[in-house]
Structure 1
Amino acid sequence: MSKLTNKGLLMTALICGNVLWGGTAVHAEEIGEYDLDTMVVTATRTMKQLQEVPASVSVVTAKDIEARNVTTIQEALQYVPGLYMNQMKAQDDQIMLRGMDTPNILVLVDGVQLNSAYKGAVNFDQIPVESIERIEVLRGAASSIYGGRAVAGVINITTKEATGKLNGDVVLSYGSNNTWKKSVQARAKVNDKWSFGVGYENSSSDGYRGFYRTAKASSGTGMYNANLPVLSDGKTYVYGGRGEKQWKTENYNFNVKYNFNDSQSLKYAFNRSESEKKYVNPFSYVKDAAGNPVYNGTVTTQNGNKITLKTSSFFGYDNIDIRNIHSLTYNDEKNNLNASFSYAKDQISGFTSPNSPTDINYTGPGDLSDHPGELYSLNIEKAWENVGNHTILVGGNYKQEEMVQHRFNLSKWHDRDSKLNEYATDSGKVKNAALFVQDEYKMNDKVTMYAGLRYDNYKKGDGHFWKAGAYDTTSQGESYNELSPKLAFDFKADENTNYYVSYGHSFNPGPMYQIYRYGGSGMGQVIPNPELDPETSDTFEVGMKQKLSDNTNFGINLYRIETKDKIAYTSFYNAAGDCTHKQYINYNEEKRRGVEFELNHKFDSNWSAYLNYAWQTGKTSGAVIPGTNKNQAYSGVADYTVPKHLFHSGIEYNNDKLNVLLDCQYVSERMSPDSATGEYGAEDAFFIVNTGINYKLAKDVTLQFGITNLLDKEFYCSEATAGRTYNVGLRYSF
């Protein structure tokens, strides 16, 4: 077969894959490559070539972010093998890594944990993408050096620092659904000693209709008649929805750095993020005789059966989150010493909701659930290089997390400041002290061993639970001691090929809301579980990395994760079969398996392409718990929330002024095979194509235009997705 034919087949195979949300344009200056010579630090906490680390690591650089013109961190991450991004733009927690969500993924920004104290989730809107220098994504167990949360992996974000007298970026973009982004990020070196950075970002969108309401029909006739969309079961009707989900975020950041000398520095950084989400313009498909929408009453459907509408079903929550993060970092590059302290506080974190609304324009009494959290963290680590054939890393960490949930009655449900009285409070605190050590031992020219061990002392503090006229109780704290070992070997077969094998143990306490929070009647009487034990996992992995040529890099790995004491949301019933309460409990075990594959190729100076694919599956097992919804034992039952297939690829053309990127993604369904597809509530498989065309108007000015979901594919990620969206933007770099 000719070289030309080979090239054509490879280009065809590598055609396209990445979703760019909210009308994101793609600036294809140069696709990020899987460069095995890239230096990374996350896998071992020491600087190593990507080819030589015994782990699966991906790198997203500032250049990649600018080239793809992504608007959020999630969008930048979605290129990574084994990572799934939910297509609902306004969701708080959008990503999964190896089938696990963010409470099982440690997310760091300049060494500061971004996971919230309350839920362990991550609000990625806290960090503007224009401020990011690079993101390293480590897949696999990393608890031996990072502790809890690092089960599926670690996302390590590093922000930009000043490189000259003044540099930065200004971005303005507008897209479908009245989506705006305005960002200014600037950095400057005052002199050899002092430098600083400052930034502001504002994003907003009118949103689109994604959350619909359904009802199952019963026999009888109603007050109104309507011809309604019906789901595949023939009994469930879609009668309206909450309307558009509007959102807006603002972010302020500032940092100042003092260099004592060429190797020692002290840096203070501050970040403030404010975000709001709410539903507006609720709608109903049911009309009265005059053509006015109906939000309450009984309805006779086109099939002669009856559904019931309630006004409250058309209302959602008003969410507000305000968070401040402070950090102070000392770095001594010459002596390989790093120490940092950080403090994160949720000034406001929660939502308001209406109490028994009587009409669709209801502005009366409501409820406020405010659950701010605080996180203190102190880290110190030091490395000794070239101690014979060893590099030794020693470190310690102390972390304290606090949560409190205040619940108030409001006179006006949209106004969180219209508090009448506080009627319930839940609070708790957890502490974790840890020591870790890692030995990188070069056994010979071919084999390097990495052996690590972490000791964690985790303590759940006493909880306090109060509700006016109902209860005023406390829970007793409990301590845990856990050893998390890690053992890995890297084998250098030749200059272009490395193999690795690794084992790691992970220790992950449950989020604080599962331990200390009452959920209230609106959530079905969810009660706290102060006796909840941490989950533990063991991860086994083998992999290979190879330079197939100067222009082609390839990587593949296989992994297996076994989790014990897995936490499950459980309903409890009385003898009459009524649900009395719900609670998070340690219930089952899970086994996950997966394969991840990555290929990057540069055809010539203008054309390049990439492809990655992940196959993953999870199976759970559990025993009978009488009086609960866990009333049958099961073994090896598939976890259908895990997307089994993730395929992503793209092809790029680049010259001095014009850049074009064609991009595709396929994600398999996230539900059982016998579930209906293509309708509201489904977790559909989808294949989407995106494109971006960018033109340099001047050396530092780029005009950007992009289309997301070019083919306007209709699919559901539980809720409806946005369809085809457009975006146009202007970027100025100085």
Structure 2
Amino acid sequence: MPRRGRASSCPPRGPSRGCASSGGSTMSPLFRSGALRAAILVSLSTPVLAGEALTLDAVQVTAGRVERPVGETLASVTVLTREDIEASQAPDLADLLARQAGVDLARTGGPGSATTVFLRGGNAPHTLVMVDGVRVSSTGQGVFDFAHLPVEQIERIEIVRGPRAAIWGSDAIAGVIHIFTRDPSASSLRLLGGSYGRRGASAATGLGDQDRGLGVSAGWQRLRGFSATNAGSWAFDPDDDGYRNRNLSLRGRTALGNQRLAFQALATDADVEFDQGTTRARNSSGGLTLGGALGARWTHQLSLGHAREDLDTVSGYSNSFRSRRTSLDWINTLAVGSAGSLNLGLGWQDEEGVSANVFDGQTFARNRSSRAAFAGYGGRFGAHLLDLSLRHDHSNQFGGATTANAAWGWAPSEALLLRLGWGEGFRAPNFNELYYPDTGYGYAGNPGLRPERSETWEAGLAWTPAAGHRVDLSLYHTRVRDLVAFAAPGTNNAININRAHMDGAELEYRFDGRAWRWGGNLAWLDSEDEATGLALLRRARHKAHVDLGYRFAGGLELAIDGDYVSSRRDVGGNPAAYALAHLRLAWPLGEGWRLEARIENLGDRDYTVVQGFNTPGRSGVLSVVWNGKH
């Protein structure tokens, strides 16, 4: 049975699938974004620096926009490989991300419901989200809804905590979540069924070799669901709120001399039922990349990308939202000395946003463009490591923004790395904050808004005390100024008024042995809106995850996961702390076949994530999986 929260205090003009705030101390006119159109428009994309390096578990590219082993990265980084994703048996991307250190999750109901991710206590728009190197956050509300991107379409996830504006530009105040889609070079198949009427299937196939290839992946999933809200909510209807998702991706590559031309495209099309109607959410992202060597010590990557979102709500108040973003980046990497590299990059992007409200006839259609240049240096000098970066962005809407990052590391041995870093960040206001019309419900845009700004100090260590063991510790201190709030005196207008701080600590441990595999993370967070002295909405002060697994001689794997989330401040009350346990099993059947089973909320606990919205009780998923050989 679904577990119930208390009554929601959301306004009747809140988000179309419930009313999840994007974060911060105030609510904003953010209508939760959704998924991508299943008919792919070949808007073309690829990672800025993906290449073959992404097959190496120990290499990441997001933190510095250059390939670097995780053990030499002067930032807090988590890399989730396809093997990690499959071992977790996470039912969706939101569940997978919620297990990671420094990540808080807010979801208004069951699978498919509006899902917001907060990284290191920052507001949701303070995290830059990319799919294959392309920004995918909505231009209207500035966030990405993680509810509709299936884990079956994901090859790898890189989570970089801390500011990365000097590398990537706007939004990367709290960090970056970079998702890489699967390369279907080998065929695969998954069939699943479970509680709440869950049914689904996915398949992938491809052909080619290292130089040339073409692949396609497709999936479908449907749930009967449960009532997203409870009897105290203003919009309560006791019927089940179902969900349907269709998704498709294409990938191709070919060698052109010493250059490599590649394209990727991903689309999802989702229908989300809620108590007052249905939302159809369609998103697509993709791009085209040409890269390779231009000299003995010079490589480059030229990337054209496009992302779009179409969100249509049919209910008592019908809304339509359109988001479009086109980008072009050129990155040049020069080898410097024996162990250094210099990155020089240019970027351009054009953004469009349209909002139409049939309820009151209010609408806006806006666009803006920006260009950027950045330089970054990374090198090693004996036991010392150094990272420096500087970037300037110029927008025809808000003018210029210059940001910098600096980090130093000391590795007295191969087993230990100590690091210290400082960085700046900024976030350009989204179109809703700038132009949303005043409808009398407490929200109105302000074209005169300034970008939000931040400064962060961080210290950390990475330690491998023995083979198979790894410990990571991070301490950080962040200040954000000019936060956007809908609180202009005497009006509903947005205004740069708030300041906030986020101070925290994260501890991670991992052991991977021949038979045993265990680990977990602990996070402590002190987040405060300095204008009110209150904690920021929906961010837990304490959070923990543990997992313990064993692989038997015959290949059978059995594991248990546990999660703890402390009480959080929310609209209308403070949801109580909760702890959940989950059980999972994987049984090889031979010839690439595998049976998977997972039981969520093993103790059938009653808990609340967001006030006024239900959560699932004990439930399960059973899957039959086949993975062909490469």
Q: TM-score range by the shorter chain?
A: 0.7 to 0.9
* AA matched with 2:526: T
CA RMSD of aligned residues (A): 2.3
Contact 2:184 2:216 in 1 (8 A): no
Instruction: Provide the secondary structure at the position in 1 that maps to 2:152.
Output: helix
Describe how 1:147-546 pairs up with structure 2 within 5 A: 147-161=169-183, 163=185, 167-189=186-208, 193-214=211-232, 241-261=237-257, 263-279=258-274, 315-332=275-292, 335-346=298-309, 348-354=310-316, 367-387=317-337, 390-408=340-358, 423-442=361-380, 444-460=381-397, 479-518=398-437, 520=439, 524=441, 526-546=443-463
Tell me how far 1:532 sits from its aligned partner: 1.4
**Structure-1 residue corresponding to 2:596:** 704
Q: Deviations over 1:268-327 (max 9, x none)?
A: 222222111113xxxxxxxxxxxxxxxxxxxxxxxxxxxxxxxxxxx5242112223331
* AA matched with 1:83: V
2:467 equivalent to 1:550: yes
Distance 2:269 2:386 in 1: 45
Contact 1:60 1:76 in 2 (8 A): no
Distance 1:108 1:37 in 2: 19
Tell me how far 1:329 sits from its aligned partner: 1.1
Distance 2:235 2:149 in 1: 38
**Structure-1 residue corresponding to 2:67:** 47
2:570 equivalent to 1:668: no
Which ranges in structure 2 are unaligned for 5 or more consecutive residues?
A: 1-55
Distance 2:241 2:413 in 1: 54
Tell me how far 1:200 sits from its aligned partner: 1.2
Match of 1:606 among 515, 522, 529: 515
**Structure-2 residue corresponding to 1:715:** 607
Match of 2:87 among 57, 67, 70: 67
Tell me how far 1:553 sits from its aligned partner: 1.1
2:142 equivalent to 1:124: no
* AA matched with 2:302: A
Contact 1:173 1:730 in 2 (8 A): yes
Out of 609-618 and 101-110, give the one that drifted further.
101-110
Tell me how far 1:194 sits from its aligned partner: 2.9
* AA matched with 1:98: R
Tell me how far 1:344 sits from its aligned partner: 2.1
* AA matched with 1:663: D
Contact 2:112 2:147 in 1 (8 A): no
Distance 2:181 2:546 in 1: 27
Tell me how far 1:369 sits from its aligned partner: 1.4
Q: Deviations over 1:67-112 (max 9, x none)?
A: 2222322223233211123354333233221122431111111111
Contact 2:340 2:378 in 1 (8 A): yes
**Structure-2 residue corresponding to 1:29:** none
Tell me how far 1:721 sits from its aligned partner: 1.0
Instruction: Provide the secondary structure at the position in 2 that maps to 1:54.
Output: coil
* AA matched with 1:638: A
Distance 1:253 1:552 in 2: 36
* AA matched with 2:261: L
Total equivalences in the alignment: 565
Tell me how far 1:131 sits from its aligned partner: 2.9
Tell me how far 1:42 sits from its aligned partner: 1.3
**Structure-2 residue corresponding to 1:309:** none
Match of 1:686 among 568, 578, 588: 578
Q: Deviations over 1:24-60 (max 9, x none)?
A: xxxxxxxxxxxx9822221111222212111000010
* AA matched with 2:364: D
Which ranges in structure 1 are unaligned for 5 or more consecutive residues?
A: 1-35, 216-237, 280-314, 355-366, 410-421, 461-478, 574-580, 623-633
Contact 1:130 1:185 in 2 (8 A): no
Instruction: Provide the secondary structure at the position in 2 that maps to 1:161.
Output: coil
Distance 1:199 1:67 in 2: 20
* AA matched with 1:592: M
* AA matched with 1:273: T
Instruction: Provide the secondary structure at the position in 1 that maps to 2:99.
Output: coil
* AA matched with 2:522: Y
Whose radius of gyration is greater, 1 or 2? Answer: 1
Distance 1:49 1:193 in 2: 24
Distance 2:619 2:487 in 1: 39
Distance 1:456 1:706 in 2: 46
Tell me how far 1:530 sits from its aligned partner: 0.9
Match of 1:136 among 151, 158, 166: 158
When normalised by structure 1's length, the TM-score is: 0.73
When normalised by structure 2's length, the TM-score is: 0.85
Q: Deviations over 1:479-514 (max 9, x none)?
A: 321110111101112121110000000011122111
Contact 1:93 1:121 in 2 (8 A): no
* AA matched with 1:439: Y
Instruction: Provide the secondary structure at the position in 1 that maps to 2:492.
Output: strand
Tell me how far 1:162 sits from its aligned partner: 5.1
Tell me how far 1:206 sits from its aligned partner: 1.3
Distance 2:104 2:210 in 1: 43
**Structure-2 residue corresponding to 1:566:** 483
Q: 1:175 to 1:585 in 2, by over 3 A?
A: same
* AA matched with 1:178: G
Tell me how far 1:390 sits from its aligned partner: 3.6
Runs of 4+ in 1 over 6 A off after TM superposition: none
Q: 1:192 to 1:689 in 2, by over 3 A?
A: closer
Q: 1:201 to 1:389 in 2, by over 3 A?
A: closer
Q: Deviations over 1:419-442 (max 9, x none)?
A: xxx944211112221100011243
Contact 2:471 2:509 in 1 (8 A): yes
Match of 2:97 among 50, 63, 77: 77
* AA matched with 1:616: L
Match of 1:658 among 552, 556, 563: 556
Instruction: Provide the secondary structure at the position in 2 that maps to 1:214.
Output: coil
